[in-house]
Amino acid sequence: MIRVRFAPSPTGFVHVGNVRTALFNFLYSKKGNGTFVLRIEDTDVERSKRDYEINLINDLKWIGIEWDEGPDIGGKFGPYRQSERVEVYRKYAERLIAEDKAYYCFCSKEELEKQKEGAMKQGNSPVYVDKCRNLDIEESKIRIKKGEKAAVRFKIQRNIYIEFKDMIRGNVKIDSNLLIDPVIVRSNGIPAYNFSVVIDDSLMKINLVIRGEDHLSNTSLQILIYKAIGIKPPEFAHLSMVMGPDNTKLSKRHGSTSIFQFRENGYLQQALFNYLALLGWSPDNGKEILLKHELISAFDLNKVSKSSAIFDYKKLQWMNREHIRLMNDEELGNVMTSFLEKRGIKFNHEIETFKWIGQASKVLSNYKHLLTEISEDFKEFISIDYSKELIKKIKDSETSIKVVSMFFEEISVLDSPIEFSKVAEILKKIQVQTKIKGKELYHPLRIALTGKESGIEFKEYIPIIERGSTLNIEPCVKNMKYRLMAFLK
């Protein structure tokens, strides 16, 4: 039975790179009918904040990642917040001390620095720094009783190689002499990451750890701690880092990095989900636009690449458009509503209105790919501001005014909504009768209908306003007849 986990530290807005780690865990567990655990690693008391945890949970939920056990829903191996498990870590640390696998270290920060410098000067590796490694345990206990502060350090076995097989990176081998005895419990009683992570992963029965490659160096150390507490280490899969286009770690310099920003900027949840899933992995059939269930069934951790993944904002935008097209109209209209409202465009919340907004947004998505941009262009369908100059431009031109008047005459006898095929027929007729064609035919009509000299293609634009005008949409959408009447008056 697969048990994987995502173990973020709530010290800020969650980075897309971390969400990709969460996503790979999620996909892997879903594919294998396993369990996905969310554990909050909040032992860094100064930097961890409950608000960050709340945001993190909202962000993960928004993108479509669900977990089976976690701080918000509980589970049989809880609590799932490390700050609530301090007592558990303390017990394990005491056990390691009693078994001579860990020891009290009384060195102050300054002292350690000094020792390190000294060791380096003598050409020794910093491994030999810690002078407390061989202190007598009984003496240490007396010092602590007397009130001295001590951290607990893990005693690394010397002169061995630590080896493990990483599912993505293959065999990893590290000389234990390169590792410094790590602090596992700080002098204030708070456990350190490398210790609490091992205790939790083992108590929570995690059998595969999928995490970022930045933790690769911690893994060897953690394997030694697993051995010391007598538990078989889980398997490991270290994902490559997510880089910006310039091959440095993806950061604010490159663009949005937090889920919140992507969401605010008008990316669809399913587009971001799809994009992140394909960062470092791709399905065998080469398909790129995939929905959640398709990603779950196609996902294969063994095929995840070990080279770093480059975050391509342009590609994500393209995916966003593809997902806009895949959405049903009502759903898209619903999502768009909040973006439109932010721009002061408030429609009534009726199903038919949502459907129409969805259709109109799909048309706009042929030009712009983000919901924010689409909402900006949405004005084209509802407000027409005729500038004096443009009106004059048409009215002063004999051919232009002729085209507009003839067109109006033809449509005024028709019932609304007028089909685009009918519009094309009328334009053809005007062309035959007047010999006016091309730009001279379309341009005046565009200005008269939209108030603008350029914009969406007529064959896409007209059906939207014609249909919209027949619906009970507030504010109401003006059809061609209405617009031309207003223009010509």
Catalytic residue ranges = 252
Size of the site for ligand GLU (CB under 6 A): 7
Minimum gap (Å) between residue 33 Cβ and ligand GLU: 22
Burial of 150-182, coded b for 16+ CB within 10 Å and e otherwise, reads bbbbbbbeeeeebebebbbbeebebebeebbbb
Quickly list DSSP for 227-268.
HHHT----EEEEEPPEE-TTSSB--GGGS--BHHHHHHTT--
Peptide bond into 444 cis (omega under 30): no
From candidates 31, 95, 186, 215, binder to ligand GLU by CB under 6 A: 215
Name residues contacting ligand GLU, limited to 269-308 (CB under 6 A).
none
Mark the segment that binds ligand GLU (CB under 6 A) among 2-10, 142-150, 259-267, 478-486.
Answer: 2-10
CB 190 within 8 Å of CB 196: no
Rank residues 45 and 120 by Cβ distance to ligand GLU and give the closer one. Answer: 45
Rank residues 235 and 376 by Cβ distance to ligand GLU and give the closer one. Answer: 235
User: Is 7 among the residues that bind ligand GLU (CB under 6 A)?
Assistant: yes
Mark the segment that binds ligand GLU (CB under 6 A) among 7-15, 116-124, 132-140, 380-388.
Answer: 7-15
Mark the segment that binds ligand GLU (CB under 6 A) among 5-13, 300-308, 341-349, 379-387.
Answer: 5-13
Rank residues 9 and 274 by Cβ distance to ligand GLU and give the closer one. Answer: 9
User: Is 8 among the residues that bind ligand GLU (CB under 6 A)?
Assistant: yes
From candidates 4, 9, 271, 370, binder to ligand GLU by CB under 6 A: 9
From candidates 153, 211, 369, 446, binder to ligand GLU by CB under 6 A: 211
Q: Who's near 321: CB < 8 A, 6+ residues apart?
A: 365, 366, 369
User: Is 85 among the residues that bind ligand GLU (CB under 6 A)?
Assistant: no
Cα(14)–Cα(8) distance, integer angstroms: 8
Minimum gap (Å) between residue 56 Cβ and ligand GLU: 10
Burial (0-12, 13-18, 19+ Cβ within 10 Å), 416:
middle
Cα(236)–Cα(301) distance, integer angstroms: 11
User: Is 238 among the residues that bind ligand GLU (CB under 6 A)?
Assistant: no
Mark the segment that binds ligand GLU (CB under 6 A) among 4-12, 247-255, 450-458, 472-480.
Answer: 4-12
User: Is 323 among the residues that bind ligand GLU (CB under 6 A)?
Assistant: no
Name residues contacting ligand GLU, limited to 181-200 (CB under 6 A).
197
Minimum gap (Å) between residue 192 Cβ and ligand GLU: 11
From residue 102, alpha-carbon distances to 87, 153, 182, 203, 229 in Å are 17, 5, 10, 20, 11
CB 443 within 8 Å of CB 453: yes
Cα(428)–Cα(449) distance, integer angstroms: 18
Minimum gap (Å) between residue 222 Cβ and ligand GLU: 8
Minimum gap (Å) between residue 118 Cβ and ligand GLU: 32
Minimum gap (Å) between residue 473 Cβ and ligand GLU: 47
Query: From edge to edge, which strands make up the β-sheet containing 161-166?
Result: 170-175, 161-166, 235-239, 208-212
- Contact string 34-53 vs ligand GLU (x = CB under 6 A): -------x------------
Rank residues 185 and 332 by Cβ distance to ligand GLU and give the closer one. Answer: 185
Rank residues 47 and 158 by Cβ distance to ligand GLU and give the closer one. Answer: 47
Quickly list DSSP for 292-347.
HHHHHHH--GGG--SSPEEP-HHHHHHHHHHHHHHS-HHHHHHHHHHHHHHTT---
Rank residues 212 and 455 by Cβ distance to ligand GLU and give the closer one. Answer: 212
Minimum gap (Å) between residue 178 Cβ and ligand GLU: 20
Mark the segment that binds ligand GLU (CB under 6 A) among 1-9, 132-140, 271-279, 331-339.
Answer: 1-9
Rank residues 41 and 181 by Cβ distance to ligand GLU and give the closer one. Answer: 41
Minimum gap (Å) between residue 41 Cβ and ligand GLU: 4
Q: Which long-range contacts (CB under 8 A, 24 or more apart) does 83-89 make?
A: 83/42, 83/43, 83/45, 83/48, 85/196, 85/199, 85/200, 86/43, 86/189, 86/190, 86/191, 88/199, 88/203, 89/185, 89/191, 89/195, 89/196, 89/199
Rank residues 155 and 211 by Cβ distance to ligand GLU and give the closer one. Answer: 211
Burial (0-12, 13-18, 19+ Cβ within 10 Å), 235:
middle
Q: Which residues bind ligand GLU (CB under 6 A)?
A: 7-9, 41, 197, 211, 215
